Amino acid sequence: MTGSLQAGFHSGALIGTQPPEPAAARGIAIRLFLTCWLVYCLHLTTNIVREIYPALSLGDHFSFRVDEYAGMHSDIFELPGRGWHINSNPGASMLAAIPYAMFQPVVSVAVNQVNERRRASGADPPAYDSPWPMARAFYEEAWRRGLDIKFGLAAVLSQTLMMAPISALGVTAMFWFLRRVTGSNEGALWLALLYAFGTPVFFRAAYLNHNMMAGHAAFLGFLMLWNPGPCFGWSMRTRTVLAGMAGGLCVLLDYSGVVLLAGLLLYSLLQANAEYGAARRGLWYSAGAACPVGLLFLYQWRSFGHPLFPAQYWMPRVTGSNLGFHGFSGPLPDQLLANLIDYRFGLFTSCVLLILAFASPWVRWRWNSFRAREKAFFALLTVAVWLFSSSVAYSRLQFNTGVRYMTAALPFLFVLTVPVLLRISARAAWLIGVAAVAQTWAMAMYRDVEQGWGVLDPVIKMVTQGFTLPVLTLASRLGLTSGGASSISPLPLFLIAGAVLFGVWSPRLSRKMIKEDFSPWN
């Protein structure tokens, strides 16, 4: 936050009757997108999540079967007569398969050359100095199978060319929304930057994550339906169909997306009027949702033999899946609390900034085109995501990855914090914003929230050990450097990124980069 926040947020300058000239906003939006994309890529990690395996199979064989990766992940299971599959919805894997397929020939050549040299040398797997025994065992097995380089390159491609730009697009959508409701380009920019780097969006953008993708998709679906002004030049039918596709994509990404799909449908029906009745809106929305949901049913039919039963139905019983319907039951009391304040993955412990949302009902909102209906929708959708997440027994496993299930509600919950942030004192806003960015940046750098003090452990490490990057930690654990990760300074990378960002935000260069006719928002 800067002095512009003091002048804008607290003097009422952000409360306008009309949004500012869109030509300037177009330039800000493009530069904001590029900034987020670059910073998210800089903090990438090569964590191998389960969605990577089907992405590799799609890119290599155009198949969802992951037979060659059997035993590499606890969620990979065999269905007699149908091969090995992964216990997850295919949406994130399908998206990640796109950049991998583009570079698959290059990856294949690199992997083959490395494996040939290893076979010729007869070397043993190098030591992987990880504090987790399972991680060490995984790396050794991947090395022996000749998959470690392939996994690493696939993780980099899926993050830099899919997860990072999708997250940057979500931040840009937040900027357009805030610009519309506040009437300020500059204020919306600073708030969007706080959303990008002061919330778990930053933490989750480091590798493929379907929960955060679903949150971005749902927020874009809301913008399609909300459309004040109007902002988009498309017809009501087109926008409703697109919103349905966004809601359906949430389900294709994860079955928790059912909450987001239903929420967007309800909001669409609430907008019914004499010209466009509820029946027509519901039909258009359902037509859009049918595309990704139908793709999910097709995947389940081809993979498991039945279009309606999810992968969890076929997977052998594991710890937690004995509750309810294969791990899904009513809200679990311990998870209701843990999803909010657990010291390792709680939403509010991971981002104290979001606690301000509780005060939003008592703060006067003077926002353009954002009425009580939208406020109630955001609050109820957040609560619905919380209740659903607390009904899934597997949400207890977040302790080793940090806040995840609740990230689908992040865009909506952040919006509820903004009016409170605009009404508190400038000094308090400064302190809260800086503290939020410091915590989230530390988590994005060190990432380990499982041991020690949970989400505070990365902050302690940042203070005591200095700055780092996940790739530097990986290089240290693989023995590629001496003296530990802290001995490798990330400052050269920070300086290079800073130089690039200076060019992006330089008025002289940006005028050449930005075309005046670029924007979906008129």
Q: How confident is the model at residue 20 (pLDDT cuts 50, 70, 90)?
A: low
pLDDT at 516 over 50: no
Of 82-96, 169-183, 274-288, which gets the smallest average pLDDT? 274-288
Q: Is residue 237 part of a domain?
A: yes
What tokens does 329 get?
Answer: 């039951």
Distance, in Å, from the CA atom of 365 to the CA atom of 258, rounded to the nearest integer, reads 30
Q: Is residue 141 part of a domain?
A: no
Look at the chain and report how many structural domains it folds into: 1
Q: Are 53 and 72 in contact (CB under 8 A)?
A: yes
What predicted TM-score, i.e. pTM, was given to this entire model? 0.92
Strand partners, 77: 85
- Note the pLDDT of residue 375: 93
Q: Is residue 103 part of a domain?
A: no
- Note the pLDDT of residue 323: 62
Query: Is 226 strand, coil or helix?
Result: helix
- Note the pLDDT of residue 329: 77
pLDDT at 517 over 50: no
Distance, in Å, from the CA atom of 133 to the CA atom of 139, rounded to the nearest integer, reads 10
pLDDT at 463 over 50: yes
Q: Kindly report, residue by residue over 387-398, the tens digit of the pLDDT.
A: 999 998 777 778
Q: Is residue 125 part of a domain?
A: no
pLDDT at 321 over 60: no
- Note the pLDDT of residue 513: 47
To which H or E segment does residue 40 belong?
helix 22-42
Q: Kindly report, residue by residue over 421-452, the tens digit of the pLDDT.
A: 999 998 999 899 999 999 999 999 999 998 88
| Cα–Cα distances in angstroms (integers) from residue 91 to residues 37, 95, 314, in the given order | 21, 6, 18
What tokens does 465 get?
Answer: 């050990």
Q: How confident is the model at residue 21 (pLDDT cuts 50, 70, 90)?
A: low
Region of residue 183 (left: phi > 0; alpha: psi -120 to 50; beta: else): left
Q: How confident is the model at residue 242 (pLDDT cuts 50, 70, 90)?
A: very high
Q: Are 76 and 184 in contact (CB under 8 A)?
A: no
Q: What is the mean pLDDT of residues 410-422?
A: 95
Q: Is residue 54 part of a domain?
A: no
Q: Kindly report, residue by residue over 301-315, the tens digit of the pLDDT.
A: 999 999 999 988 888
Report CA 86 to chain centroid distance, whole Å. 20
- Note the pLDDT of residue 487: 61
The secondary structure of 112-127, three-state, reads: HHHHHHHHHHCCCCCC
Q: What is the mean pLDDT of residues 207-214?
A: 96
Percent of the chain's residues with pLDDT above 70: 89
User: How high is the mean pLDDT of the chain?
Assistant: 88
Domain encompassing residue 159: 3-47+154-513
Q: Kindly report, residue by residue over 342-352, the tens digit of the pLDDT.
A: 999 999 999 99
Q: Is residue 90 part of a domain?
A: no
Q: What is the mean pLDDT of residues 109-127?
A: 92
Q: Are 86 and 53 in contact (CB under 8 A)?
A: yes
Q: Is residue 116 part of a domain?
A: no
Q: Kindly report, residue by residue over 155-198, the tens digit of the pLDDT.
A: 999 999 999 999 999 999 999 999 999 888 999 999 999 999 99
pLDDT at 296 over 90: yes
Q: Is residue 309 part of a domain?
A: yes
Q: How confident is the model at residue 14 (pLDDT cuts 50, 70, 90)?
A: very low
